[in-house]
Structure formats: C-alpha cells, structure tokens
C-alpha cells in the first residue's frame, strides 16, 4: 500500500499523485470509497478500527462517499466540503493550494481586544463569506479587533444558526467554498482583524449526523440539552478525542484561524485526568506556534477552572463569557427580572462588583436554580471576562429578537454601552449593535416539517419560563423558526451606519477612547475601585499606572435614574489628585449621540453648594486637569 504522511488523522487528503483516505469505523468489516463516477477503492483495516487507503486516480474536486460492509453509502464524517448539503457527496479539497498573503500575521492574545460576534448568513443580504469579507473595513473603522464567527460546520436546510452542525470539518456550503472562507480570514488579517470560530463539541445536530453509522462509540450515555453527549472519557474514547483535537488543529492550521469560541462547555463531559478542553487547546497552540491563539468558553455554571493555567489545575483557556454582567445590565435596561434574570437587581453594586471581579456569582446560592452558582475567581485577570449586553442567544431570547436600544431608554442604553466598552473586561459587540440595527435577531432553523414542528414547540416551551411570554396571546406573535421570512428579517442593512449615525458614533468614539486612554486600555488587575452614589448611580475610579504621575486616574460616573446632585459627597474616590480638578473628557449626553447636552459638571445650580450634578440616564468620563 502506498505510504502517505498525513496532516490529520481522518478525512481525504490530496497528494501530488492521488488522494489518501482514512476513517474510523470500528463496527464495520469493510469500508470502500465510492466515487461519483462509479469507481470503487477498498480501504485496508488498521488496528483500533481505522480504515485507510490510497486512490491514485482521485484528485481535488473528486466526489465520494464511503460504502459500509458492501451496503449503505454515507458521506465522510471528516468531509472537507459538502456542496449538496450533509446528505450529499463529499468533496476532496486541497487545502495547500490557497494563496495566503498573511505570512507576517502573528495571531492575537486576548488582552486589549474588542470582539465582534457575527453570523455569516445574516451579516449581509447575500449571506456569504465573500459578501461578509467586503464589509470588514467598516468593522476596523468601528474599532473591532477580533471577529467571532458563529458556527460554520455543515448543517442541514437552507438556513440556521449553525449549532446543529453535523460535519465538523466542512464549512457549510450555504456560505461558500472552503477557499472563500480562507479568503475571508486572509482579508481580515490584512486589515489587522483576528478571527475566531464558534465550535460545538458538545453534541451534533439531529439531521445529517452519520457518525453512528461508522462508530456508535462517538456518543455516550450522558445527555445534553440537545441530545446524546460526545464520548470523551468512556470505552473507545481515544479516537473520539483524536477526532475533536484534530478538528481544532484543522481550523487553526488550514484556515489560519486565531482560536475558537467553545459552545456550552458545561455539556462537554469528560472525567479524564487530561480534560479534552485542555488537551485540545494545548495541541492547537502547538500546531499554530509561533502564532498566538485565543480560546473562549461559554460556561453556564461559571467554572473559572477553564481559564486557570494547567499548573494550577486549569485547562489553560483564555476567556469566559460573563452572563452575570449581561443579566444585571438587562434588568437595569428593562426593569424586568423574571426567569433567569431573577437573581439580579441591575443595581450599582452589581456593576461595581462585576467590573472588579468578573462573575457576580462565585459560589453563592442562586435562587433561580435552587443551588450554588459559580466558583471562586477573585484572582482571574479582568481580560478573561468577556462582557456584553447583546449576543445571539440573548437577543433572540427577548422572543421578538429586539435589541437593547429598542428595550431601554436611549440614555440608559448609551450609559451601559459606555460601561461595557470602557470596563476592564474584554468587550464584545453583536452584529449590528454598533449602529443600532433595526433588524431583529430571531431563532431560525430549517429542518423537515416534523422537526420544524418540534422546534417551534420547544422554542415556545423554553420562552414560557418568562411569565410575560407564557400566554397564548403572546405566543401567537412568536416568529416561526422554520419560516424563510424569519431568517430574512434578521439580515443586516449596513446603510444604517449612516442613517443611525448617532449610535454608530457612540460606539466608534467609545472604542477610540478605550484605545487612546492608557488607563482604559490597560485592563490592569485591581486597576479600579468603585462606590455607590445613590440607588441608581455609581462611580468607578480607574487608577493610572505611570509610576505615580499625578493626574493619571480617570473617573467613570454612571447614573441610570434621575439627575443626581452630589451633596453631600463623602466618597474619597471622587476626590481629584493633588493640584488637579476633574474635567469632562466624554459624556453620553452629547448631542452627537442623541443626548440632551449637559452643563459643566461642577457648576452648582441655585447656589446650593452641591459638588456636581450628574445628568439622569447618562455616563460621564472625567479626567484630571491642573488647577495651578
């Protein structure tokens, strides 16, 4: 048999004189490659259940399936492209042929980044990699530095979020070819943008999943919210772990991605001494070296072990989505704390604590779940907490896909946008947030009629946890996830950057302030303190780090209710440095952003002797200026 040094353990790899195939199928006696033209090539059985072989007449572009035990034919579980969808022919792809231009790109580390979550299918009207690529310069103009692309692994139907992917190695054909995805990444790098990919290693979708035809051992008896869990620690789990680890390496090597966002890691069950998340991140970093990579986890129970270094018993990931911050912000913006917002008040102390310590729940009792939530993380670096007031789940969970600027007063929205973008965490925007998109973001997934019915029912049952949405009257207004019109409504209109210029300027100016003010950019551990000024207002003092140079601190004042007269003001964090006084550096009440303007903050009204007046529904940044 012709030898071949493989780049990855599974899939079809083109060589100069043919294609080498390898697949894990331990329950099968024979496996053959069947080509679209009718030719058949038998694969040889290896130990551990693998089959492999060389097809000298195959080339990049050849279409094939695997014939199992002389009967059923199935797509390759490690297919690199499925141009007809997950049930169609797999296609051989030569990943080495793409003309990369990013040879000087060195990757990205999480500190100092601004993340932008995007869904390729709705980011533009065309919904393709190529059309998304054309919009990238505008994201650079905004101040974004890292793109977080929602899942692109091949999934069934005409549209979907991507979390029901069934072929982990194949970019979904709906968005374009694998090389068009590579072009998207290459262009992003040329503009100084990193790209990380959202991946789903906790389950596979229900339609088009052929893994069990090759090896039921891919799955275990544990379950997730979406079906059987992946077998990372049971019998025959070695090749399953290899399949997952190789997939992470594949994305960072063959697509030059700068890391991964890991979906619902609480449903990645692994009792191994070397947890699959740590093993995956370690292998991918080794494969990408010297490029730097970012690994960000979604983790509902808030386990900070994921971002602790391996020598402290952690998995060595870089970041965690901070749902606590989001939930507090939404309660403050909407005045509602039903369902999973039940344990939040949207109060000043929550925002101060979130800015100082990341998660609010680090082991306390959590009423909504009737158990403790979170693990101690007071020592975690601020940059590890990804902070946001919008993401794909949370916008869709408003039931009608409404965005924050539609759910809150304009002033409150501007104020909490300032807190999110200037705080010491790693800020994340959701597509269209930067210009106040009028398009909703709804849940959509295109399956067969029976699956679509079950999805509609499941979605209504999920939203029923919100008492305000549980009535038949409200359910009648829910969008049908399987309707093409639901998907079409979610597509962005990028001309709104101009027509919604006030919101766009707000985001651009705040991100410019974050870049240019060292005290905001620093994301320094223990770099700030805060104090409650009223039931709805608070101050954050960001401490400078220039060797004690006076006048290096900044204040961020946030007031989510009525105008606040600071009299008296027995709070030392408000005191200016010696020989300095505070002056306004930035205000959310600027007419440029649609605000109502504000008087000089230190101009007393009615000669009443108050220190300052902070406008209602506002955020103000103060900087010292010499009074000598």
CATH of the domain at 508: 3.20.20.80
Is the peptide bond prior to 568 cis by the omega test (within 30 degrees of 0)? yes
For residue 184, is it within any domain? Answer: yes
Question: Which secondary structure element, helix H or strand E, spans residue 123, and what is its range?
Answer: helix 120-123
For residue 122, is it within any domain? Answer: yes
On whether both 542 and 504 belong to a single domain, the answer is no
SS3 619: strand
On whether both 495 and 537 belong to a single domain, the answer is no
Give the residue-averaged pLDDT of 347-369: 96
- CA 340, 346, 351: angle at the middle one, nearest 5? 115
Give the residue-averaged pLDDT of 205-226: 93
For residue 26, is it within any domain? Answer: yes
Q: CA–CA separation, 97 vs 183, rounded Å?
A: 12
On whether both 57 and 121 belong to a single domain, the answer is no
On whether both 546 and 421 belong to a single domain, the answer is no
Q: What is the mean pLDDT of the chain?
A: 93
**Active-site residue (options: 298, 350, 509, 589):** 298
On whether both 70 and 143 belong to a single domain, the answer is no
On whether both 337 and 397 belong to a single domain, the answer is yes
Q: CA–CA separation, 321 vs 448, rounded Å?
A: 33
Report residue 231: phi and psi, to 5°: -85, 95
Q: CA–CA separation, 318 vs 295, rounded Å?
A: 5
Our answer to whether residue 148 is catalytic in this structure is: no
pLDDT tier at 280, thresholds 50, 70, 90: very high
Residue 465 is predicted with a pLDDT of 76
Residue 613 is predicted with a pLDDT of 85
Return the residue matching tokens 């399956």: 447
Q: CA–CA separation, 81 vs 172, rounded Å?
A: 7
**Res. 263: pLDDT tops 50:** yes
Q: CA–CA separation, 315 vs 331, rounded Å?
A: 32
Question: Which secondary structure element, helix H or strand E, spans residue 537, and what is its range?
Answer: strand 537-542
Domain boundary pick from 69, 96, 123: 96
**Ranked by mean pLDDT, which of 284-298, 546-560, 597-611 comes out on top?**
284-298
Write the pLDDT tens digit of every residue in 95-148: 999 999 999 999 999 999 999 999 999 999 999 999 999 999 999 999 999 999
Report residue 581: phi and psi, to 5°: -135, 160
pLDDT tier at 418, thresholds 50, 70, 90: very high
Return the residue matching tokens 């379950």: 223
Least confident of 288-297, 382-391, 597-606: 597-606
Least confident of 53-67, 276-290, 476-490, 538-552: 538-552
Phi-psi region of 38 (alpha: psi -120 to 50; beta: other; left: phi over 0): left
On whether both 559 and 431 belong to a single domain, the answer is no
Give the residue-averaged pLDDT of 189-195: 98
For residue 40, is it within any domain? Answer: yes
What is the four-CA torsion angle of 618, 624, 625, 628, rounded to 10 degrees?
Answer: 130
CB 309: neighbour CB atoms within 10 A?
10
pTM given for the model: 0.96
On whether both 348 and 426 belong to a single domain, the answer is yes
Q: CA–CA separation, 52 vs 9, rounded Å?
A: 10
On whether both 277 and 157 belong to a single domain, the answer is yes
Residue 241 is predicted with a pLDDT of 98
Give the residue-averaged pLDDT of 510-524: 95
Residue 5 is predicted with a pLDDT of 86
Residue spans of beta strands (DSSP E) within 63-139 = 63-68, 73-74, 90-91, 115-118
**Res. 607: pLDDT tops 60:** no
Our answer to whether residue 298 is catalytic in this structure is: yes
On whether both 186 and 284 belong to a single domain, the answer is yes
Query: What is the token pair recorded at 52?
Result: 């492999």
Residue 283 is predicted with a pLDDT of 98
Least confident of 201-205, 471-475, 611-615: 471-475
**Res. 608: pLDDT tops 60:** no
For residue 520, is it within any domain? Answer: no
pLDDT tier at 580, thresholds 50, 70, 90: confident
Q: Are strands 319-321 and 385-387 parallel, antiparallel or unpaired?
A: parallel
- CA 440, 341, 421: angle at the middle one, nearest 5? 60
**More confident: 534 or 453:** 534
Give the residue-averaged pLDDT of 470-474: 71
Helices assigned H by DSSP within 289-370: 323-334, 348-357
- Structurally, the chain folds into a number of domains equal to 3
Classify residue 554 by burial, with Cβ atoms within 10 Å: 0-12, 13-18, 19+: buried
Write the pLDDT tens digit of every residue in 138-176: 999 999 999 999 999 999 999 999 999 999 999 999 999
Say if residues 162 and 70 touch (Cβ distance below 8 Å). no
**Res. 489: pLDDT tops 50:** yes
For residue 222, is it within any domain? Answer: no
pLDDT more than 70, % of the chain: 96
Q: Which residues pair with 33 in a beta bridge?
A: 41, 66
**Active-site residue (options: 148, 179, 263, 446):** 263
pLDDT tier at 183, thresholds 50, 70, 90: very high
DSSP state of 305: G
The 3-state DSSP composition of the chain as helix, strand, coil percent (nearest 5) reads 30, 20, 45
Looking at residue 26, which CATH number applies to its domain? Answer: 2.60.40.10
On whether both 72 and 124 belong to a single domain, the answer is no
Domain that holds residue 421: 115-199+231-441+490-512
Residues with Cβ within 8 Å of residue 138, at least 6 apart in sequence: 494, 497
**Res. 606: pLDDT tops 50:** no
Looking at residue 535, which CATH number applies to its domain? Answer: 2.60.40.1180
On whether both 502 and 535 belong to a single domain, the answer is no
Q: CA–CA separation, 71 vs 80, rounded Å?
A: 23
Q: CA–CA separation, 448 vs 529, rounded Å?
A: 54
């Amino acid at each position: 048999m012709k030898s071949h040094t493989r780049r990855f353990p599974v899939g079809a790899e083109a060589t100069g004189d043919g294609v080498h195939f390898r697949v894990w199928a331990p329950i099968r006696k024979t496996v053959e490659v069947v080509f679209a033209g009718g030719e058949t090539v038998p694969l040889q059985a290896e130990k551990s259940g693998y089959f492999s072989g060389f097809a000298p007449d195959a080339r990049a572009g050849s279409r094939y399936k695997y014939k199992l035990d002389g009967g059923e034919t199935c797509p390759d579980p490690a297919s690199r492209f499925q141009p007809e969808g997950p049930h169609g022919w797999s296609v051989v792809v030569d990943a080495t042929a793409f003309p990369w231009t990013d040879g000087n790109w060195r990757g990205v580390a999480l500190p100092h980044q601004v993340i932008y979550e995007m869904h390729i299918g709705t980011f533009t009207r065309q919904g393709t990699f190529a059309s998304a690529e054309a919009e990238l310069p505008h994201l650079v103009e905004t101040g974004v530095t890292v793109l977080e692309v929602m899942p692109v692994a091949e999934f069934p139907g005409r549209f979907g979020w991507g979390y029901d992917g069934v072929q982990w190695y194949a970019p979904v054909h709906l968005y374009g070819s694998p090389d068009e995805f590579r072009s998207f990444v290459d262009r992003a790098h040329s503009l100084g943008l990193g790209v990380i990919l959202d991946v789903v290693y906790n389950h596979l979708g229900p339609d088009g999943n052929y893994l069990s035809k090759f090896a039921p051992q891919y799955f275990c008896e544990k379950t997730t919210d979406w079906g059987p869990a992946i077998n990372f620690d049971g019998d025959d789990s070695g090749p399953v772990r290899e399949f997952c680890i190789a997939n992470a390496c594949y994305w960072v090597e063959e697509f030059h991605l700068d890391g991964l966002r890991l979906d619902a890691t609480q449903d990645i069950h692994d009792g191994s001494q070397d947890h699959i998340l740590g093993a995956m991140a370690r292998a991918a970093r080794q494969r990408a070296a010297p490029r730097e990579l970012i690994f960000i986890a979604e983790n509902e129970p808030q386990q900070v072990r994921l971002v602790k270094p391996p020598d402290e018993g952690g998995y060595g990931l870089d970041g965690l989505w901070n749902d606590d911050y989001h939930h507090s912000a939404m309660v403050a913006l909407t005045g509602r704390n039903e369902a999973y917002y039940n344990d939040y008040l949207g109060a000043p102390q929550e925002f101060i604590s979130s800015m100082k310590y990341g998660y609010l729940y680090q082991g306390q009792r959590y009423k909504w779940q009737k158990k403790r939530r979170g693990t101690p993380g007071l020592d975690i670096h601020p940059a590890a907490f990804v902070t946001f007031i919008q993401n794909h789940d949370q916008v869709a969970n408003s039931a009608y896909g409404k965005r924050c600027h539609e759910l809150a007063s304009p002033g409150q929205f501007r104020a909490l946008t300032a807190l999110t973008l200037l705080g010491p965490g790693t800020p994340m925007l959701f597509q269209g947030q930067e210009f106040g998109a009028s398009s909703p973001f709804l849940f959509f997934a295109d399956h067969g009629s029976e699956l679509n019915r079950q999805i509609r029912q499941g979605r209504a049952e999920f939203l029923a946890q919100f008492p305000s949405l549980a009535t038949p009257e409200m359910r009648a207004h829910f969008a049908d996830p399987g309707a093409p019109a639901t998907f079409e409504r979610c597509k962005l209109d990028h001309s709104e950057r101009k027509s919604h210029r006030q919101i766009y300027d707000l985001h651009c100016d705040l991100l410019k302030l974050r870049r240019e003010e060292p005290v905001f950019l620093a994301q320094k551990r223990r770099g700030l303190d805060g104090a409650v000024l009223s039931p709805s207002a608070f101050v954050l003092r960001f401490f400078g780090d220039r060797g004690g140079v006076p006048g290096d601190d900044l204040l961020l004042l946030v007031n989510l209710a009525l105008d606040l007269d600071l009299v008296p003001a027995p709070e030392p964090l408000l005191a200016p440095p010696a020989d300095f006084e505070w002056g306004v550096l930035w205000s959310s009440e600027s007419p440029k952003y649609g605000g109502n303007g504000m008087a000089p903050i230190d101009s007393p009204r009615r000669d009443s002797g108050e220190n300052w007046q902070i406008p209602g529904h506002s955020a103000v940044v103060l900087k010292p200026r010499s009074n000598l």
